[in-house]
Amino acid sequence: MENRIDTVVGSLIYRAGAYILDKLLENQKKIQQNYPSSEFVLATVEKDFVEELKEMLSRWGVRGKVILYETVKPDYAISVVWNCSCGREAIRKYALEKGASYLLFIDADLICDPQVINILKKEINGYDIVACGYAGKRHGTVVGGLGFTLITSDALKKMTYRCYEFKNREVLDECEVAGMDSFAKGLKFKNGYFLTVDHYDRDGSFGHMEPHSMSLLKKISNCLFVRYMLMKTSIILRFNIPGSLKKLLSRFFQRD
């Protein structure tokens, strides 16, 4: 009889962005060796990629699933954020259908400590969502989004992954909107740098990060209330304020 899945690990994947797929699957195999009650789920919109992904899961001996999902968006929308939003929503629904206690989002260009689930489960104690930061590909740090996030099943039941694209082409992605929705629904959110993480670029280079404490500036800028207010203002103005601030801050603060 199939063992119960305690944690679904989900990644969005597309052929052009699958430049470390072998590394990703090797990493997931190690994660499953440390946490056997996990399952790795790859979500894609590319029909011609499904069978290849299934074959690679089998080749690496990774317990997994490939989800083919559809991107639903307004007629005027052109941004790829709709693909990401719909993909995360497909993974969220799958995790709930499987009765998993946790969903761990890991972007397909990230490699992490194989003890990731055990480490983040300790950090999530008393919280609904834990987001682990990582080094940017070129400079700065990334924290507070969905690239490396553990979420409880109770929180998943209250969430719907969605995004905004205004007719002026300004975009608010699903990571930014999820922060706003988390605050609105009273979810407890924790940010930090808890893991060893490598963030790969297409040319094989990567940003490396070890666990460390978060600076005061990062704590303030990633406070859920601050993010909520910035997002609400962005929706009114139809302008991505959080995205513009991140670009500005990254110029002055190369590391946390």
Burial of 96 (0-12, 13-18, 19+ CB in 10 A): middle
Q: Is residue 21 assigned to a domain?
A: yes
User: Positive or negative, the Cα torsion across 140, 142, 144, 149?
Assistant: negative
In the chain, which residue ranges form alpha helices assigned H by DSSP? 21-34, 50-60, 81-97, 116-123, 153-158, 174-184, 216-221, 224-237, 241-252
Residue 1 lies in a domain: no
Q: Does 157 reside within a domain?
A: yes
What is the reported pTM? 0.93
Q: Is residue 223 part of a domain?
A: yes
Count of domains in the chain? 1
In a domain, 125, yes or no: yes
Phi, psi of 162, rounded to the nearest 5 degrees = -150, 170
pLDDT of residue 1: 36
Domain that holds residue 118: 7-252
Q: CATH no. for residue 134? A: 3.90.550.10
Candidates 107, 147, 154, 158; CA nearest to 127 is: 154
**In a domain? residue 197:** yes
Distance between CA 89 and CA 181 in Å, rounded? 14
Dihedral sign computed on CA atoms, order 173, 176, 179, 185: negative
pLDDT tens, residue order, the chain (256 aa): 357 899 999 999 999 999 999 999 999 999 999 999 999 999 999 999 999 999 999 999 999 999 999 999 999 999 999 999 999 999 999 999 999 999 999 999 999 999 999 999 999 999 999 999 998 876 677 877 888 999 999 999 999 999 999 999 999 999 999 999 999 999 999 999 999 999 999 999 999 999 999 988 888 888 889 989 999 999 999 999 988 877 766 655 555 5
Distance CA 18, CA 16 (A): 6
Query: Has residue 2 been placed in a domain?
Result: no
In this predicted structure, what is the pLDDT of residue 243? Answer: 81
Task: Evaluate whether residue 241 is within a structural domain.
Answer: yes
